[in-house]
Each structure stands twice: as structure tokens, then as C-alpha cells.
Amino acid sequence: LWIYLRANEGNEALLGADLEAARVIYQEILDQLIALNDCSVNDRIAVIYHQLGMVAQEKPQLEVAQQHYLKALKIFEDAGDLYSTARGYHQLGIVAYKQRQFEVAQQYYLKALKIREDTGDLYNAAGDYNQLGMVAQEKRQFGVAQQYYLKALKIFEDAGDLYSTAIGYHNLGWIAQEQQQCEPARQYYLKALKIFEDAGNSHSAARECHHLGNVALLQRQFEVAQQYYFKALKIYEDAG
């Protein structure tokens, strides 16, 4: 019970971005679990290693995060816990991506994706598709990125996840813009903007307005660009 309560405190600290408090709590729990010298608590040890990885990733101490995730992954793999193993691969992919190790990130995401596809975990597979799209985009493989983003978008739309759907539209708009495909880019950004405005997500709406301004500039529609930039600026100013 003590471990459960302390873990909740650690989770709350992590969610509240009190990273050092979260680290201290998780480390305290880890020390206690390891001191038990009982293999029956290995699953809990793996979870705490994973959470310590999340804390280090946010700091960001990426090498430390990687080591924690690897320790958790080893336990998850040995236990045959496919769900947690896939999550571990995904997080290791994020760390590698942040380190701009795109080939390494791609391999981790593909491992996570394989597990999730095999187990029918389509919603989380969409997260892997999205991250693989980001990797492909960084590698300037725009056609590959587009295909991954479209797969993710379909799953998010079917799940009714409006926020992730809007992110999917944004990513597809970005891909189109990178290729100077202004009209498809504009349409995708407008779809994202509509969702964010309806949800009252002013920060994301301002971002879409900024990108719509960039597209209008590419189209040499200077008045339109100016209007979008002013709209974005007003949202930022109103938000403080």
C-alpha cells in the first residue's frame, strides 16, 4: 500500500512537472523494491525504471533516460509483457529521435509497431506510425512520411480522438508545405485550425494561423498572409 501511495505521489509530481520531486520519490520506491530481493516484484521495479526514464527524458537527461528505459525493457521482455515492451521501445525511439539518431529511432518504433499490430493495439500503433512519419520527414523522405501520417490519421479519426486528428492534419500540411504543395497544405492546416478553434485550444490555433500565413506567402498572397499573422499574434497576446 505504501508503494502504491508513493507511486501516485510520484506520478502527480511528474504530471505537475515537478521533476526532481518525482525523481526522488521514484528512486526511494526503487531502492525499497530492490532491497526486498524478491523476484515477484520485478514487474514493479520495471515500472519504476520506466517512470524514472520519463523524468530524465523531461529534464532532459537523454542518456540517463535511455539507461532507465533499457533496464525496464529487459524486465518487460523477460516477463513476456508485450504491452509494456512495446511502450519501452516507443520511449527509446523518442529518446533516439531527440538525440537526432534517426535510424536508431526508426528501429525502435518499428519494433513497437510490430508488437502492437500483432496484438491488435491499433490506437497505440497510430502513435508509432506518427513517430515513424516524423523520422521519415527528418530524413526528407516525404512520400514515406505522408503514408505513415495517413495511417495514423485514419486510426485517430476512427477513434474519435479530435486532438490527435488535428495533429495528423497539421503534419500532413507540413509535409505538403515542404514540397511546395500549397493548396493541399492550406486545406490540411484549415482542418486542423477548425478542430483547435472548436476545442478552444488557442495556442495550437495560433500555430495553424502562422503556418497558413507561411503558405499564403509561398502563394504570394501577401494580404492573406498578413491577416493570418495578425490573427496568430492576437491569440498569443490575448493568452498573455
pLDDT of residue 129: 98
Mean pLDDT of the chain: 95
Q: How many CB atoms lie within 10 A of CB 159?
A: 13
pTM to 2 decimal places: 0.87
Give the pLDDT band (50/70/90) at residue 108. Answer: very high
Look-up of cell digits 486542423: 192
pLDDT digits (tens, 9 = 90+) for 205-225: 999 999 999 999 999 999 999
Burial of 160 (C-beta count, 10 Å sphere; 0-12/13-18/19+): exposed
Specify whether the CB–CB gap between 171 and 159 falls below 8 A. no
pLDDT digits (tens, 9 = 90+) for 120-133: 999 999 999 999 99
pLDDT digits (tens, 9 = 90+) for 36-67: 999 999 999 999 999 999 999 999 999 999 99
Q: State how far Cα 181 lies from the chain centre.
A: 26
pLDDT of residue 236: 87
Q: Which residues of 217-227 are buried (b: 16+ CB within 10 A; e: fewer)?
A: beeebeebbee
Give the pLDDT band (50/70/90) at residue 1. Answer: low
Contacts of 185 (CB under 8 A, 6+ apart): 173, 174, 176, 177, 211, 215
Between helix 162-178 and helix 202-218 the angle, nearest 10°, is: 20
Give the pLDDT band (50/70/90) at residue 239. Answer: confident
Contacts of 68 (CB under 8 A, 6+ apart): 49, 50, 52, 53, 56
Report the share of the chain in percent with pLDDT over 90. 91
pLDDT of residue 67: 97
DSSP annotation of 168 reads H
Burial of 27 (C-beta count, 10 Å sphere; 0-12/13-18/19+): middle
Residue range 147-154: mean pLDDT, rounded: 97
* DSSP string covering 127-155: HHHHHHHHHHHHTT-HHHHHHHHHHHHHH
CA angle centred on 197, ends 206 and 156, rounded to 5°: 100
Report the share of the chain in percent with pLDDT over 70. 99
pLDDT of residue 237: 87
